[in-house]
Amino acid sequence: MNDQNNPLISVVIPIKNGAPWLRKTIPALLNQTLAKSTEIIAIDSGSSDETLSILSEYAIKVIQIPAESFNHGNTRNLGVQKARGKYVVMTVQDAEAANEKWLQNLLDGFDNDNVAGVCGLQIVAHDLDKNPMDWFRPVDTPGIKKYHFENAAAFDALSNDEKKAICSWDDVNAMYRRDILLEVPFQPVDFSEDAIWARDVLRKGYSIVYNGLAQVYHYHAESPDYTYRRSFAVYYHNYLYFGVKPVYYSREFIRVLKNIKLLLKESRIGWNAKWKWLQYNRQQRKAINKAVSAFYKALANGETALKQAHSIICERPPQAEQLTHKI
């Protein structure tokens, strides 16, 4: 890469034990059309696999921090402080740019100085080891949406559901103006730092943009227990920061029929695998409904009880870790 003394873009990647993915993630960044104007900053929090050895193969900046000091908000703020680019991209170790124009598509969303950030889209490749129900099947061409409010009062006048929908921000795939990130940093939280940041900048009168053309491949096969814990964490933080309560999956029979219809169309998937994926998705919906039930059971005893339930169920905030699930 050239222009490293004055990069346009800094890509920040929090990493821990990323060896299974880094030889895809890093080359996909180096293959970007804007690669010559981009620096890559990896923040490793105590990897015990071959991560550091793999990172040494590339001309990137590596920052090492103790595992116990990792925090979704503060660790990313550290990356912003070390970045030299006008724009800072947040992503994760197992997210792979879908094409060589990923960074350019994010950058295209900054059509004026009031835009604080541009968020892209996570997609799932049509790979046989990934849940077919999650495969990327767009009905329409992904487009661009911009949100702006004149002041905090205008944003606060929205319903809770509207606030949450607009702030569905995603640090797996987002680009920020560094000067605004320094002005409005991520809050030092263990979860939802991205959605909270979107809320904070909108209340300050900045704009945020969603560009569905900026895509990364990202997928986790989850055990039911992990889905239960992650779902509860999401519901707890959505309620804590946006006042939004979860809803149950319903009409299970109809959902199963839709899954069957979709699976029957996929000729590459064998019958045994189709059956296993059907069961996998039923187990996932059960785990999600279990989390909804746990949320309402705790909330019925007050918000202190809800907080205690979150501490017990999650123990630690669910991380974006790859869990074993083979079909």
**Which is nearest to 209 in space by CA: 115, 88, 143?**
115
The pLDDT confidence band at residue 2, using thresholds 50, 70 and 90, is very low
Query: What does the mean pLDDT of the chain come to?
Result: 94
pLDDT of residue 6: 87
pLDDT of residue 5: 74
- The model's pLDDT over 249-292, given as tens digits with 9 standing for 90+, comes to 999 999 999 999 999 999 999 999 999 999 999 999 999 999 99
The DSSP 8-state label assigned to residue 69 in this structure reads: G
**83-116 burial string, b = 16+ CB within 10 Å, else e?**
bbbbbbbbbbbbbbbbeebbbebbbbbbeeeebb
Read off the tokens for 215. 């895509």
Helix (H), strand (E) at residue 41: strand 38-44
Domains annotated on the chain, with CATH: 9-217 (3.90.550.10), 224-314 (no CATH)
The pLDDT confidence band at residue 316, using thresholds 50, 70 and 90, is low
pLDDT of residue 210: 98
269 φ/ψ angles, rounded to the nearest 5 degrees? -95, 125
Number of alpha helices (DSSP H) and beta strands (DSSP E) in the chain: 12, 9
Beta-strand pair 115-123/174-177 = antiparallel
The pLDDT confidence band at residue 142, using thresholds 50, 70 and 90, is confident
Biggest alpha carbon distance in the chain? Answer: 59
CA–CA dist 44, 132 (Å, integer) = 32
pTM given for the model: 0.92
Would you say residue 103 has pLDDT above 50? yes
CA–CA dist 9, 28 (Å, integer) = 15
DSSP 132-184: GGGS---SS---EEEEE-SSHHHHHTS-HHHHHHHT---TTSEEEEHHHHHHS
- The model's pLDDT over 39-81, given as tens digits with 9 standing for 90+, comes to 999 999 999 999 999 999 999 999 999 999 999 999 999 999 9
Tally the residues of the chain.
327
